[in-house]
């Protein structure tokens, strides 16, 4: 991934030091925990653990100073989330709500299905590309931290996500096909500069949970949320793509998720989360937080995008 354009003092200092190969690293605060500067800086730190950044030495991945900065950024982000995300009803209630879609729900998939235009569908793909082009990678960090049925269930789902041994069926590759069908660039991280902080936060959350063993319960909650909410949303996106005349590769990506994630949802909720909590019941509050923080950030992202679209404005920082 190419180095992103800075969005403030923290990200400017971080990116400058990384690309120069030397120099002082910034401190994290004060900064808006949901703002462009902090979220881009955090995303850049995390990307060193995925495919790296062009022109940046791999040695930075475990640099003590950079890890200190990343920890400060994470602390600001997590502190804000723990203050803003309403928890306390319990993990059972949080899991139950995942399969009870409200009748008055009007999220992005509803809008795209009923009213969306092609330019909005293309923008949606740009937003999602930051995660979908590395789909399932953040959750793979959970594998060595589980055992028994929980580990087996996670690996079974991940096996499907990574194409069941067939490279052409890897979900990230299928999403690249969707992007090409929509006339978009499918290069990894190509649209990082185009997406706002609310998009970055949704991806940063799973990286944060994935990189910390102590957050394995929260990551399990995140995974349960993703797999449970995917089938109905994917069904509506299939309808939107068909209505707008998208190509077969674009339709296939979401059609694949309608069927696969319906099975995955059962495995994740009952075998992964269920077995994890039987073995480590003290993680119940973490699982609940993972579910509710994921939904809170997703709703915040969708609210921002819908507000722009309903005003016939782009939801992106720059046009694809």
Q: What pLDDT does 308 receive?
A: 97
For residue 298, being part of any structural domain is answered with: yes
- Of the three residues 84, 101, 135, the one that is the final residue of a domain is 84
For residue 216, being part of any structural domain is answered with: yes
Query: Are the C-beta atoms of residues 46 and 35 closer than 8 Å to each other?
Result: no
Give the structural domain span for 205: 91-310
CATH of the domain at 138: 1.20.910.10
pTM equals 0.95
Q: What pLDDT does 106 receive?
A: 79
For residue 13, being part of any structural domain is answered with: yes
The helix/strand/coil state of 103 is coil
Task: Looking at the structure, tell me whether residues 74 and 171 fall in a common domain.
Answer: no
Task: Looking at the structure, tell me whether residues 148 and 252 fall in a common domain.
Answer: yes
For residue 319, being part of any structural domain is answered with: no
For residue 145, being part of any structural domain is answered with: yes
For residue 320, being part of any structural domain is answered with: no
Task: Looking at the structure, tell me whether residues 251 and 218 fall in a common domain.
Answer: yes
Q: What pLDDT does 265 receive?
A: 80
Split into its structural domains, the chain has a count of: 2
Task: Looking at the structure, tell me whether residues 79 and 164 fall in a common domain.
Answer: no
Task: Looking at the structure, tell me whether residues 111 and 15 fall in a common domain.
Answer: no
For residue 316, being part of any structural domain is answered with: no
Distance CA 256, CA 249 (A): 10
pLDDT along the chain (320 residues), means of 10: 97 98 92 98 98 97 98 98 96 91 76 96 98 97 97 95 94 97 97 98 98 98 93 94 95 87 80 97 98 97 97 93
Q: What pLDDT does 102 receive?
A: 60
Q: What pLDDT does 272 receive?
A: 96
- Of the three residues 84, 117, 132, the one that is the final residue of a domain is 84
Task: Looking at the structure, tell me whether residues 116 and 259 fall in a common domain.
Answer: yes
Q: What pLDDT does 320 receive?
A: 79
- Of the three residues 84, 104, 127, the one that is the final residue of a domain is 84
Task: Looking at the structure, tell me whether residues 130 and 239 fall in a common domain.
Answer: yes
Task: Looking at the structure, tell me whether residues 189 and 224 fall in a common domain.
Answer: yes
For residue 315, being part of any structural domain is answered with: no
């Amino acid at each position: 991934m190419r180095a992103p354009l800075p969005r403030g003092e923290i990200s400017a200092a971080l990116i400058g030091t990384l690309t120069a190969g030397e120099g002082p690293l910034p401190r994290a605060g004060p900064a808006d925990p949901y703002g462009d500067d902090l979220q881009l800086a955090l995303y850049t730190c995390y990307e060193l653990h995925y495919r790296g950044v062009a022109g940046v030495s791999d040695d930075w991945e475990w640099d003590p100073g950079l890890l200190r900065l990343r920890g400060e950024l994470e602390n600001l982000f997590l502190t804000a989330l723990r203050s803003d995300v309403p928890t306390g009803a319990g993990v059972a209630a949080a899991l139950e709500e995942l399969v009870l879609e409200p009748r008055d729900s009007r999220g992005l998939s509803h809008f795209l299905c009923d009213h969306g235009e092609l330019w909005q569908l293309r923008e949606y793909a740009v937003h999602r590309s930051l995660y979908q082009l590395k789909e399932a990678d953040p959750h793979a960090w959970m594998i060595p931290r589980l055992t028994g049925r929980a580990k087996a269930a996670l690996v079974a789902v991940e096996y499907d996500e990574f194409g069941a041994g067939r490279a052409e069926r890897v979900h990230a590759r299928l999403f690249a096909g969707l992007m090409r069908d929509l006339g978009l660039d499918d290069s990894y991280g190509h649209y990082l500069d185009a997406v706002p902080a609310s998009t970055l936060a949704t991806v940063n959350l799973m990286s944060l949970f994935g990189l910390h063993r102590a957050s394995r319960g929260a990551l399990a909650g995140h995974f349960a949320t993703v797999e449970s909410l995917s089938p109905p949303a994917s069904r509506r996106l299939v309808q939107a793509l068909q209505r707008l005349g998208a190509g077969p590769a674009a339709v296939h990506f979401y059609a694949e998720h309608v069927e696969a994630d319906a099975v995955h949802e059962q495995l994740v909720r009952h075998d992964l989360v269920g077995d994890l909590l039987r073995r480590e019941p003290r993680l119940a509050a973490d699982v609940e937080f993972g579910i509710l923080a994921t939904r809170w950030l997703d709703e915040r992202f969708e609210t921002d995008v819908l507000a722009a679209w309903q005003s016939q404005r782009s939801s992106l920082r720059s046009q694809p």
